[in-house]
Every structure is written in structure tokens, then in C-alpha cells.
Structure 1
């Protein structure tokens, strides 16, 4: 097989000979006898690529460094073979997507640092040189939850790794794996676009999914109709946002803003008077907070 392809693609290489080769520049395949080889993308026309994908098994070279458990998850996530290895399925699982601020961190170093912070070994799959996801498995539904804020604090302080994480909800059924991964990846990409916090959950991201789906004209209309004349009063809007983020607790919001409670209450009442939207009630609070999210997104761009 290799000799035949060599006559058509002179730059084809065997996987074992790729030590000093940029693997991302090659399309990798595995033959029926287990031989792995790569052909440069630059040598492949689109029709040829489709034909080879049909005749040969596409191969990801990252699989060569996976543990047995990670290989199983790789198969569940990417090949959707959730009818295989059902006896090895956890009671619960969730994905923890991560992105390292700096590229070039050695995967083995990251693996060792991460695994040392967990009560047991967690499968980790890399998607490129600085992003991937951890599969948090739980066999006991009463296990104590992991604090990823603590994980990030340790990694940043002890290993000088700055990273961002998005945590999906827990799932229970093995057939949910492909869709859970797809939805989690979409939320993770939204998190990297809009949400600068180191650790983010699906509850944080859902409102931004709505924002992301709106066109710019719709966003501007929402902001102008809800915020009205207050749109240029940045101090007032900051006060309102903190008030809402503190669950409309005036005492807590005043403490957060280092101001007297009466001053905060005055600003809240001023906003209500100017917009005719009562943010002390659920509907008014929800509409205003969504509008403020639009404003924050535009300011962060």
C-alpha cells in the first residue's frame, strides 16, 4: 500500500519518521495492516482527499500518546461509537474545556500538574497545542465536587500557567457524549469571545448564547429602547449592573461599590425614573441586565 501511494505522492512519510515534522501539515491515514502514514495537505486535491478518506481510515497522530481510558473517550467523542465499551461508562461525566493563554506548554507537564490536583486520574484530550478538555468522571454520585477556581489558582501560582476553563453540566447517559461535546465546545467558544473570567459554567454562558445570535442592528435597538437617556451615564449603569448582580441587594451592592446605601438607592431610583423600567421587579431587572450585557460586550471589543 505504502509503495503504491509513494509513486503518486512522493512526499508521503511513515508516522515513525515524523519526529521533526509539523504533523498539522499532513493528512494522516492508517492502512488495514496498521501502518500509519501522512501526505502533505499541499499535495492533495479536494477530490483526492475525499477518495482517500473513503478508502483508508483517517488517523489522528495524537492518539499515539493516549492512555487506554483516553482512547475510549476519543472513540466516544469523535467517532460517536457509544455502543462500544458500555461497561466502562461512568455514572456521571462532564467536560471541562480549557485554553492556555500561552502556546507551547508541554502536554506532559500540564497532565502532571492537573492530575496532581484531582482525587483520581482524569482523561485529558488535546485539540491543538494550547486547548483541549478534561473529562471529569464520577462513579459515585455523592462524590465531593471539584473546585476549578482552586485548580486554576494553583496552576497559576505554582506552575505559572494562565488558563481559562468552561465547565459543562453533568450528563448521565453514554449516548449523550457526542452532543454534550458539541454543545460544550460551542459554549466554550462563546466563553472565549465574551467572558473573561477564568472559570465559567453553562449558567454564565447561556445569556451570551442569545446575544451571539443577534445581529448588530437588533442589539443596538434593544440597548437604545431599554436604556434610553441613561446610555451615556456610565456611572449610573455600573451601579445598576452591580445592583442586579448582587441579586438586587442594596446593602451588598453598596459594599461592593464602596458607597453609602442611600447613595446607591438614589441611583437605582434615578434609573427607574429615567427609563420607566422598574429593576426592583423581575421583568425589569431581566430586560435591563440583558441590555447591559450588550453594552459590556461592545465595550470589551
Structure 2
């Protein structure tokens, strides 16, 4: 018997579609998803269906994140779970979005030949996910991710978008950093779909331009603490370096520092923050944060939207 004999407006599909106003279930016997308008279901019918079918959100979670490590990261990032134990190295999130409905296993199989040991793929929903990368001596370079994206699009005709995050300490602030990167990625993605690989340097200015005053101020404040932690001496040095077009010699002369000493400090800043201020996009993004830091130091308020 077809379930549509009982619920004529039910929708059968091969993939989950979490629509507002629909109750969704997974049928293990057929391997298909059943979506029924909420208005067509009584509480008794919903309970009866749940006894024989699996609610789609639970089925999807189990199907997409099947290993204990995937489930731990999923619970930590989207639920109330703790940070997975034993994380001593810094963590980078590689966020991805796949525009079309896909067979996730095909994508995972393609990833396996590319991922380094210790990387974990965590699905956030059927089209969004992250790759957890632990810091190593030879992290995957941006050019390698670009090559992977091109190969995926060529082999499977998927429109795949990535955001290559920064390395962060595996501490209590990691979830907030994940939240910020998700915001940068999906805001920039709405306006710059010609890009396939985003990072902080490219996405942050777009995010600021498209955000309201309160949101921009809050995120600038968080990045100010992340990059400078209230260190105004470091702020002055980085700001001057950027204003001198990233010229080490002229900046060192103005700061009365040896050139090698300044070069060391700049390199350590880039290594700690994962933001390359020697590039145009990196220097522009950090310069916005420097300006915010100066406003904080002067106590002049935050003149956005005025």
C-alpha cells in the first residue's frame, strides 16, 4: 500500500527536505523520505507514524554523521555537547556548501583521496558541512583546495563552495569562532558566487558592508580581541606596517626597530592569527580591525550608521 492512499498530499523523495510546515520521516524499508503537511496530521497519527518510521532529522543525523567522532563534533557545534576530548593542537574548520542535492557518499569518497590523516568530515545538514583539520607541519595549502574544488566540479558537476578558516586554539571559545566563520562564509556567498574558495581576508569586508550597525560592531569587537587582545602597541605596529604598503624597511625605520626584529614580529603575527597581512585582502581586513581598536582606545564610540 502506498502511504499516499492515506495521506494524498504526502511527498516521497530520495533526499531529506526540511520544509516549514511539513513533518518528515525516513522509511528504512524503501530508503525514501516521506514529507506530510503538518495540517494533515493529528497528534495520534504523528505518534503512529513515528512508531513505524524514523523522524527525518534523527535519520539524517545518523546517516550523515555515522562515526562517534563525527557525532561528538556535531553535538559540540550544533548542540550542547562538550568540546571533543584530547584536542591539544590548534583546529581549523573548512566550511563547505553544495548547492545541488547530492549523494553525500560520492562527495565523501572524493574527499577521502584528498584529506590528510586526522581530518574529520562533519555534516551540518544535507548541503552544508565542515572538515575539521588539526594543525600539522604541512597543512593543506589554499592552492590544493582550489584544485580539489575544480576536480569535484569537473567530475560530478556540483557547485561546491568552501571557506578555509583560520587555525584557532581548541578551547572554550572555539564554538564562537565557528559561528563567526559560518556568518562570514554565508554572507559573502550570497553576493560573490563567482568565488569558489573563500577565507577571512576575502569574506570579512563583505560581511561588514552587508551587516547592520550592531552586528558589525559586535563582530569587530570579537575580532579585535582575537587578533590583538587589547595590545595597543601591537596595534600601532601592524597599522603602521599596513599604511606603509607592507614595506618592512620603511616601517622599521619609523619604529626605530631593526629590520629583522620587525620581520620576526610580523611573521609571528601572521602565524598566530592565520591572516596574511602581506596580501592586499589580508591587510585591508586587519586594517578595519585596527581602526576599530583605535576608536576603542580613544573612547570615541563607534560611528557606524551615523
Please say which structure displays the higher CA radius of gyration: 1
**Conserved in 1, the CA contact under 8 Å of 2:76 and 2:82?**
yes
Q: Superposition RMSD on alpha carbons, in Å?
A: 4.5
Provide the C-alpha distance between the structure 1 equivalents of 2:70 and 2:160, rounded to a whole number of angstroms.
22
8 Å contact kept, 2:70–2:120: yes
Q: Distance in 2 between matches of 1:89 and 1:44?
A: 46
Report the counterpart of residue 206 of structure 1 in structure 2. 204
Kindly indicate whether residue 138 of structure 2 is the aligned counterpart of residue 144 of structure 1: yes
Runs of 4 or more above 4 Å deviation: 18-23, 25-29, 38-41
1:28, distance to aligned residue in structure 2 (A): 6.4
- Note the C-alpha offset of 1:42: 2.6
Q: Per-residue CA shift, 1:154-212, capped at 9, x if unaligned?
A: 34236614422112222213422432222111111122023332222112222222211
Structure 1 spans left out of the alignment, 5+ residues: 1-9, 12-17, 30-37, 216-243, 250-281, 288-301
CA displacement at 1:94 relative to structure 2? 1.9
8 Å CA contact 2:91, 2:168 repeated in 1 = yes
**Residue 173 of structure 1: which of 159, 170, 173 is its match?**
170
Change (3 A) 1:89 1:28: farther
C-alpha separation in 2, matches of 1:142 and 1:121 = 10
The total of aligned residue pairs comes to: 196
TM-score by length of 2: 0.49
Distance 1:211 1:189, change over 3 A: same
Unaligned runs of 5+ in 2: 1-5, 26-32, 48-54, 214-241, 248-282, 289-306
Give the match's secondary structure for 1:94.
strand
2: CA distance, partners of 1:194 / 1:210: 13
Distance 1:88-1:61 versus aligned 2 partners, 3 A rule? farther
1:43 and 2:43 aligned: no
**Residue 187 in 1 paired to residue 181 in 2?**
no
SS at match of 2:93: strand
TM-score by length of 1: 0.50
| Equivalent pair of 1:113/1:155 in contact (CA under 8 Å) | no
- C-alpha spacing 1:169/1:154, structure 2 compared with 1 (3 Å): closer
Whether the aligned pair in 1 keeps the contact of 2:184 and 2:207 (CA below 8 Å) is yes
Deviation at 1:75, TM superposition (A): 0.7
